[in-house]
Amino acid sequence: MSDARESMKTSVTELLQEPQGEQTELLDKYSLETNNIIIDIKIYTLEGEAVPLYNVSIANISPTTRIVLEKIRQEFVSKMNLEDIQSFENAENIQIIKQEFKTEIRHLINKYFPKTDEKTINMLVNYLLEENLGLGKIDILLNDPRLEEIIINNHKEPVWVYHRRFGWLKTNIVIPSEARIRHFATIIGRDIGKEITNLNPLMDAHLASGDRVNATLYPISNRGNTITIRKFAEDPWTITKFLVDGTISADAAAIIWLSMQNELSILIAGGTGSGKTSMLNVISNFFPPNQRIISIEDTRELTLPSDMHWVPMETRLPNPEGKGGVSMLDLLVNSLRMRPDRIIVGEIRRREEAEVLLEAMHTGHSVYATVHANNAEETVTRLTNPPIDIPKAMISAISMIVVQNRNRRTGTRRTFQIAESTQTGDPRILYQYNPQTDKLEKINESKHVYDRISLYTGMSKEDIDFDIKQKVRILQWFVKRKIEDVDEIGLKLAKYYMGDLRLD
Per-residue pLDDT at 63 exceeds 90: no
CA dist 129 and 116 (Å) reads: 18
pLDDT at 43: 96
* 19 domain residue, yes or no: yes
* 490 domain residue, yes or no: yes
Say if residue 78 is in the same domain as residue 157.
Answer: yes
Per-residue pLDDT at 429 exceeds 50: yes
For residue 438, the enclosing domain spans 239-497
CA dist 107 and 116 (Å) reads: 12
Mean pLDDT to the nearest integer, 203-229: 91
Say if residue 262 is in the same domain as residue 150.
Answer: no
Radius of gyration of the chain from Cα atoms? 26
* 293 domain residue, yes or no: yes
Cβ contacts of residue 324 below 8 Å, gap of 6+? Answer: 316, 318
pLDDT tier, 44 (very low <50, low <70, confident <90, very high otherwise):
very high
Boundary residue ending a domain (172, 188, 222)? 172
| pLDDT 10s digits, 350-386 | 898 898 888 888 888 899 999 999 999 999 999 999 9
Q: The pTM is what?
A: 0.79
pLDDT at 4: 46
Query: Which is more confident, 246 or 137?
Result: 246
| pLDDT 10s digits, 308-337 | 999 999 888 777 677 888 999 999 999 999
Q: What is the domain-level CATH number for residue 303? A: 3.40.50.300
* 180 domain residue, yes or no: no
Boundary residue ending a domain (172, 190, 224)? 172
Boundary residue ending a domain (155, 172, 189)? 172
* 66 domain residue, yes or no: yes
Say if residue 125 is in the same domain as residue 265.
Answer: no
Say if residue 360 is in the same domain as residue 455.
Answer: yes
pLDDT tier, 17 (very low <50, low <70, confident <90, very high otherwise):
low
| pLDDT 10s digits, 110-149 | 887 887 777 777 777 777 777 666 787 898 899 999 999 9
Sign of the torsion angle spanned by Cα atoms 335, 340, 345, 348: positive
Mean pLDDT taken over the chain: 87
Q: What is the domain-level CATH number for residue 40? A: 3.30.450
* 333 domain residue, yes or no: yes
Domains in the chain: how many in total? 2
C-alpha torsion 112→3→39→66, nearest 10: 30
Say if residue 369 is in the same domain as residue 252.
Answer: yes
Burial class (CB in 10 A: 0-12, 13-18, 19+), 183: buried
